[in-house]
Amino acid sequence: MTPCAGCGEALPPLALSCHQCKRLVHAQQLQALSAQAKLAQASGDLTGARAVWARALSLLPSETVQYRGVQAHITDLDARLAATGPEAQDLHRSQSAKWLGRLGVAGVVIWKFKIVALFVLTKAKLLLLGFTKLSTLTSMLAAFGLYWTWYGWKFAAGLVISIYIHEMGHVAALRRFGIAATAPMFIPGFGAFVMLKQRPATLAQDARSGLAGPIWGLGATVAAWLAGVLSAQPIWFAIAHVGAAINLFNLIPVWQLDGGRGFNALTRRQRGWALAAAVVMWAVTADVLLLFIVLGAGYRLFSKDYAAEPDRGALLQYGGLVVLLSLLLLMCTGAARPF
């Protein structure tokens, strides 16, 4: 049995929700499917949107509000598909494919990262939350002013926004678990932090809250890299390069860094897999940040604070972040010329 990410209760193999805290077992997958369906629907691919909603329906308990909501989406799409007919759908998809084809490599990149773009858009309301806090706003402006004097205003703005998005990833995860925390506070020249007002109830919650920062940071880094690809402006690659480096630094699995919190939920065997991923990416990039991750993971492999039960989600998140951020760092290295 796997533990619930919300309360730690043991879940039966085919459970769709936790009987203790009512948390949906596939909450993260459902969020991604919802974003994918909405994007398909917005682009006119009603057939694709219906297929994604149908997949989401199979992951929801039939007595929940979410199940009825998804069912309503499917019913609406069925009515619209019956009205438009398959010929119109095929024509729209072919036109979209031609448009992306004209963009060449950039078109492929846009398509591959469409979910990231929609995720950022759907989280815009939460991202604005920090700007309503005077402490966040004033400390952010102070950091921006310092970085401006060092690097110029364009890079300073990109750096501050990247750090802010990273911190808001923590805030979003903590709010999802019902854990009280402060808004982000910047320390000019050092970064930013979020203070927890209560401890996470389980190792899984702590790991998800810690890794949420680099996950959102990955989204910001991808956005900057895409801007560089589309505009051919080196400043965007420089912002993406530093964003990837900052998030990789936070994945070093020691102390209270995000990687350390992620490692707390891993068994010794899972830590071995995470170490292997870091070693491979160090060999690929030859970057010193990966060496630090390798050394930290090697140390934690033999420490006795490993989890008793495996956390597959935490392992996939940690390993995926190491691989993707390392590749982004590598892709930006040659393009991030002085600015």
> What are the pLDDT tens digits along the chain (339 aa)?
567 766 667 777 778 888 777 788 877 678 767 877 776 676 677 888 888 899 888 989 888 888 999 999 899 888 888 877 555 555 555 555 554 454 444 454 444 445 455 555 555 556 666 667 888 899 999 999 999 999 999 999 999 999 999 999 999 899 888 888 888 999 998 899 998 888 888 899 999 999 999 999 999 999 999 999 999 899 999 999 999 999 999 999 998 899 999 999 999 999 999 999 999 999 999 999 999 999 999 999 999 888 989 999 999 999 999 999 999 999 987 655 544
Are 228 and 299 within one domain? yes
Are 132 and 277 within one domain? yes
Are 267 and 339 within one domain? yes
**Residue that has been written with the tokens 């506070």 in this structure:** 185
Are 80 and 189 within one domain? no
* Overall domain count for the chain: 2
DSSP 3-state helix, strand, coil percentages of the chain (rounded to 5)? 70, 5, 25
* Residue 337 belongs to some domain of the structure: yes
The last residue of one of the domains, among 35, 68, 103, is 103
Tell me the residue range of the domain where 277 lies.
123-339
The last residue of one of the domains, among 38, 69, 103, is 103
Are 11 and 139 within one domain? no
Residues 160, 162: Cα–Cα separation, whole Å: 5
Question: Nearest CA to 56 among 79, 78, 31, 80?
Answer: 31
DSSP letter at 12 equals -
Question: Residue 85: left if φ>0, alpha if ψ -120 to 50, beta else—which one?
Answer: left
Q: What separation in angstroms does the CA of 44 have from each of 30, 87, 91, 116?
A: 21, 13, 10, 19
- Environment class of residue 332 by beta-carbon count within 10 Å: exposed (0-12), middle (13-18) or buried (19+)? buried
* Residue 88 belongs to some domain of the structure: yes
* Residue 216 belongs to some domain of the structure: yes
Asked if 258 and 293 count as a contact pair (C-beta separation under 8 A), the reply is: no
Are 23 and 135 within one domain? no
Start-to-end CA distance of the chain, whole Å, equals 53
The residue type at 165: I
Question: Nearest CA to 23 among 66, 70, 74, 69?
Answer: 66
* Residue 228 belongs to some domain of the structure: yes
User: What would the two tokens of residue 16 be?
Assistant: 């769709």
Are 63 and 196 within one domain? no
Are 178 and 99 within one domain? no
pTM score of the predicted model: 0.66
> What Rg value do the Cα atoms of the chain yield, rounded?
21
